[in-house]
Amino acid sequence: MKITTKGQVTIPQFIREELGLLPHTEVEFEIQDGAVLLKKAHGIEHLRGRADAGLSTDEIMALTRGEG
């Protein structure tokens, strides 16, 4: 695996699936004993802009428009 000119690497699919790393998941990097550790971010910041009220997008939009 190579690092791109932008400093990016692709996380293999089996690792993303094992850790539940979906698109837009916030992650953290740590250096431990000369190795890089990647893990899901914990805390409030990684939740910003996300909510789940159990409603579909259409239902939320209807409520936003005052149709619900």
Q: What is the pLDDT at residue 44?
A: 53
Tokens of 38: 């990647």
CA–CA distance, 34 with 32 (Å, rounded to integer): 5
Task: Confirm if 38 and 29 have CB atoms less than 8 A apart.
Answer: yes
pLDDT surpassing 60 at residue 67: yes
pLDDT band for position 40 (cuts 50, 70, 90): confident
- Which of the pair, 5 or 64, is modelled with greater confidence? 5
Residue 49, both tokens: 């802009």
Instruction: Give the C-alpha separation, 24 to 16, whole Å.
Output: 12
Statement: residue 14 has pLDDT above 90: yes
Considering the chain, what is the average pLDDT of its residues? 83
Checking if the pLDDT of 47 tops 60, the result is no
